[in-house]
Copies of this chain bind each other. A is one copy, B any other.
Amino acid sequence: MAEPVGFVGLGIMGSRMAACLARAGHPVAVYNRTAEKAEAWVEEHGGRVAASPADAAEGAAVVITMVVDGPQVEQVLLGEEGAVHGAAAGTLFIDCSTIAPADARRIGAALAERGHGFVDAPVSGSSPKAQDGTLTIMAGGSEDDFARARPCFDAMGENILHVGPLGHGQTVKVISNTVAATNAATLAQALVVGKATGVDLEALVAVLGAASSASTMVTLKAKPMLAHDYTPLFRLAHMLKDVGICLDESAAVDAPFPSAALARELYHAAMGRGLADEDFAAVLEAVEGLAGVRL
């Protein structure tokens, strides 16, 4: 039978990922800051409402966290009422949040001191993929911990990649997001150049999506940009956080990433326009401001 899991963080992504685990036969104890969400989740998927992260860890072989940032992970794992206080020796912790690699390593060291395993396993893919259990999961940690985490990963994801030791899941994730952000900034500029030259923008987008310029960013962001529709799929502030972690990582090893550094400044300029909670496609606003051209 599938191992019991404690799951902390029932946001848009987390609630769907936990449901995949329940469907795969794992007994799941869920904790969420807003208790109503946990109760509704249990009503739908079964399992148990936990009163605290520590309570979620009681009787669990695996504890999974899906929260906003490093400080939150630290709080729900190691803080007062943190999961570590309810966990039996040798529990495996899996963090699916996107946090700084250094934070992951520090948390992993704290858990190791208490005899627990830890895998950092950020995910890629939006809510439909979380729903279907077809996320891409990039995991960092020891071979043993990865092997133990595998059944849970299989329940939640489709592309499961062991990318290196602890922290490397995060590093790969933020590099990937930074490439996406840079591609989106390039796309915004291409559209503004297209506008200025007078070409038909619908036709330009069709070509960008069909030729060697094609990318997930063209597929997802070109039409919203043409419409100035920034309904958030992934917020500008969150993308900028991830790009910032990536450039901190590359700076820490003195590796240059000039195209991303330039793109980051465009995202900051968009943030400065009060667009933090809009989709990161809103980087277009900064490019339009620079050019003095509106699509």
Any B CB within 8 A of the CB of A150: no
Report B-chain residues with C-beta under 8 Å of the C-beta of A246.
193
Binary contact track A229-257/B, C-beta < 8 Å → 1, others 0: 00000100000000010100111011111
Q: Which residue of B lies closest to A138 (CB)?
A: B207
Report B-chain residues with C-beta under 8 Å of the C-beta of A195.
255
What's the number of copies of this chain in the assembled complex?
Answer: 4
Any B CB within 8 A of the CB of A76: no
Report B-chain residues with C-beta under 8 Å of the C-beta of A249.
193, 197
B256 engages A207 (CB within 8 Å): no
Q: Which residue of B lies closest to A159 (CB)?
A: B210
A207 engages B161 (CB within 8 Å): yes
The answer, among B198, B220, B262, for a CB contact under 8 Å with A261, is: B262
Q: Tell me how many residues of A have a C-beta within 8 Å of chain B.
A: 81
A210 engages B136 (CB within 8 Å): yes
A125 to B253, CA, bound (A): 30
Binary contact track A139-177/B, C-beta < 8 Å → 1, others 0: 000000000000000000001011110001001110111
The answer, among B124, B199, B262, for a CB contact under 8 Å with A163, is: B199
Comparing A27-35, A64-72, A265-273, the segment that makes contact with chain B is A265-273
Given the known interface contacts A163-B200, A214-B215, A215-B214, the answer about A272 and B257 at a Cβ–Cβ threshold of 8 Å is: no
CB distance from A190 to the nearest CB of B (A): 5
- 26 A-B residue pairs with Cβ-Cβ distance under 8 Å, sorted by A, are A136-B207, A138-B207, A163-B200, A171-B199, A172-B204, A176-B204, A176-B211, A177-B212, A179-B187, A179-B213, A183-B215, A189-B257, A189-B260, A190-B260, A193-B249, A197-B253, A197-B255, A215-B216, A244-B251, A255-B272, A255-B293, A259-B263, A261-B265, A269-B290, A269-B291, A286-B290
- A177-B211, A259-B259 known; 18 new pairs, CB 8 Å cut-off, are A124-B211, A138-B207, A159-B206, A161-B206, A164-B198, A175-B193, A176-B204, A189-B259, A196-B253, A197-B249, A197-B253, A197-B255, A213-B216, A214-B216, A255-B291, A261-B265, A289-B289, A289-B291
